[in-house]
Amino acid sequence: EAGVTQFPSHSVIEKGQTVTLRCDPISGHDNLYWYRRVMGKEIKFLLHFVKESKQDESGMPNNRFLAERTGGTYSTLKVQPAELEDSGVYFCASSQHTTGQHRYTFGSGTRLTVV
Amino acid sequence: SQQGEEDPQALSIQEGENATMNCSYKTSINNLQWYRQNSGRGLVHLILIRSNEREKHSGRLRVTLDTSKKSSSLLITASRAADTASYFCAEQAAGNKLTFGGGTRVLVKP
């Protein structure tokens, strides 16, 4: 099966610009997650979709971040306007089961650099 | 330890040696998972250990879990240069989200 795909793999933008990251989960996976790792820090949870609904968005840092998953398939994460501290690697993951013990499949990440 | 700190944060060993890293967590978990990240790549799931398990093996990997101490360890036996990567533990509690530790950078020298 195809894995989780993220696009772009790298993005360099100027402070104040807008960037949109995309994640295509494994087909049939209802659960989609966004995580990020800013430089030198831990991998932090951003939010969790179940199909097209936001199940948990407690990790979203502020209202400059907007995540969508229209139709319950792929998801986008938009940062507008981007700030320097948004630089880092953004990971997407998907999983099939909603509860219990299940493993996640992560994408390769998008490395975002804000200059 | 992970979950804020990693123990150790970095590890350098010779090929063929064993590598051990530790992880601590704070909440009551459903399971604890270990992931590997090779440079510039995504996170690869290595092993999942349930809260009612104490030890689990997968190939050259051995994971232990001590819920009384809220800690876990990952042992890589007979390391290879290809094991060079960052290793992360992640706790899964009542919700679905994972809480990651800071990771251990492992360098295996040929």
Tell me the β-bridge partners of A37.
Answer: A43, A89
Name the residue among B30, B44, B100 with its Cβ closest to that of A43: B100
A-chain CB neighbours of B44 within 8 Å are 106
> Any idea which fold B10-109 has?
Immunoglobulin-like (2.60.40)
Q: What pLDDT score was predicted for residue A96?
A: 83
Question: Residue B104 in contact with residue B19, Cβ under 8 Å?
Answer: no
Q: What pLDDT score was predicted for residue A19?
A: 98
Q: Does B2 have pLDDT greater than 60?
A: no
Say if the Cβ atoms of B50 and A101 lie within 8 Å.
yes
Shortest alpha-carbon distance between residue A81 and chain B (Å): 25
B57 or B95: which leads in pLDDT: B57
**For A5-114, CATH number?**
2.60.40.10
Q: Which two tokens stand for residue B49?
A: 């250990």
pLDDT, one tens digit per residue, over A47-63 is 999 999 999 999 999 99
Positions of chain A with pLDDT lower than 50, given as ranges: none
Provide DSSP, B21-44: EEEE--S--SEEEEEEE-TTS-EE
Q: Considering only alpha carbons, which residue of chain A is nearest residue B34?
A: A103
Q: What pLDDT score was predicted for residue B5?
A: 55
Say if the Cβ atoms of A108 and B4 lie within 8 Å.
no
- How much is the average pLDDT of B66-74? 95
Q: What pLDDT score was predicted for residue B28?
A: 86
Q: Considering only alpha carbons, which residue of chain B is nearest residue A111?
A: B40
Q: Considering only alpha carbons, which residue of chain A is nearest residue B39?
A: A108
